[in-house]
Amino acid sequence: MNIQYSETAGSLGSSAVRDILKVTQGKEIISLAGGLPGEELFPVEAVREAYSRALSGSAAALQYGLTEGYLPLREAVAARMTGQGIACSADEMLLTTGSQQAIDLLCRILLDPGDAVLVEAPTYLAALQVLGSYRAAVHTVASDDDGMLPEHLEEQLRTHRPKLLYAVPTFNNPSGATWSRERREKTVALCRKYGVLILEDNPYGEIAFDETPGAYPPTLAAIDREAGNGPCVVYTGTFSKIVAPALRTGWAVGPQEIIRVMAKAKQAADLHSSAIDQRALHELLLSFDLEGHIRLVSREYYSRMKRLSGELTARGWCDFREPRGGMFLWLKLPGGVETSRLLPLAVEQGVAFVPGEVFYATSPLTSAMRLNYTHTPPAQIPLAVQRLEQALARYEASRQSLQLS
Ligand SMILES: Cc1ncc(COP(=O)(O)O)c(C=O)c1O
CA 403 to ligand 1 centroid distance, Å: 42
CA 318 to ligand 1 centroid distance, Å: 27
Higher pLDDT, 356 or 24: 356
Q: What domains, with CATH codes, occur in the chain?
A: 13-42+292-404 (3.90.1150.10), 44-287 (3.40.640.10)
> pLDDT at position 181, please?
98
Contacts of 38 (CB under 8 A, 6+ apart): 297, 300, 301, 304, 374, 375
CA 242 to ligand 1 centroid distance, Å: 12
pLDDT, tens digit, 9 for 90 and up, residues 30-88: 999 999 999 999 999 999 999 999 999 778 899 999 999 999 999 999 999 999 999 99
CA 58 to ligand 1 centroid distance, Å: 31
**Average pLDDT of 300-306?**
98
Q: Is the dihedral of CA 258, 177, 303, 369 positive or negative?
A: positive
Which atom of ligand 1 is found nearest the CA of 245? 10
pLDDT, tens digit, 9 for 90 and up, residues 184-205: 999 999 999 999 999 999 999 9
> pLDDT at position 334, please?
87
Give the type of residue at 309.
Answer: S
Pocket of ligand 1 (CB under 6 A): 35, 98-100, 124, 168, 173, 201, 203, 238, 240, 245, 250
Contacts of 115 (CB under 8 A, 6+ apart): 134, 136, 137, 162, 163, 164
**Average pLDDT of 320-334?**
96
CA 100 to ligand 1 centroid distance, Å: 6
Which atom of ligand 1 is found nearest the CA of 238? 11
The CB density around residue 101, as the number of other CB atoms within 10 Å, is 26
Q: Is the backbone peptide bond immediately before 245 cis, with ω within 30 degrees of 0?
A: no
> pLDDT at position 16, please?
63
Whether the pLDDT of residue 15 is over 90: the answer is no
Q: At what angle do helices 71-83 and 275-287 cross, to 10 degrees?
A: 50
pLDDT, tens digit, 9 for 90 and up, residues 115-135: 999 999 999 999 999 999 999
> pLDDT at position 10, please?
77
Q: What's the CA gap between 78 and 253, in Å, rounded?
A: 8
| Mutation probe of ligand 1 site: the residue of 42, 97, 99, 105 with most atoms within 8 A of C-beta | 99
Question: How much is the mean pLDDT over the chain?
Answer: 94
> pLDDT at position 11, please?
75
CA 248 to ligand 1 centroid distance, Å: 10
> pLDDT at position 13, please?
63
> pLDDT at position 229, please?
79
Q: What's the CA gap between 110 and 114, in Å, rounded?
A: 12
Using an 8 Å Cβ cutoff, are 66 and 275 in contact? no
**Average pLDDT of 5-31?**
75
**Average pLDDT of 166-177?**
98
CA 203 to ligand 1 centroid distance, Å: 6
Which atom of ligand 1 is found nearest the CA of 97? 9
Which atom of ligand 1 is found nearest the CA of 239? 11
Which letter, b or e, does each residue of 192-219 get, where b requires 16 or more Cβ atoms within 10 Å of its Cβ?
bebebbbbbbbbbbbbbbeeeeeebbbb
CA 166 to ligand 1 centroid distance, Å: 13
> pLDDT at position 110, please?
98
| Mutation probe of ligand 1 site: the residue of 95, 124, 130, 242 with most atoms within 8 A of C-beta | 124
N-terminal to C-terminal alpha carbon distance within the chain = 49
Which atom of ligand 1 is found nearest the CA of 240? 10
Q: Considering the chain, what percentage of its residues have pLDDT values greater than 70?
A: 97
pLDDT, tens digit, 9 for 90 and up, residues 248-262: 999 999 999 999 999
Q: Considering the chain, what percentage of its residues have pLDDT values greater than 90?
A: 87
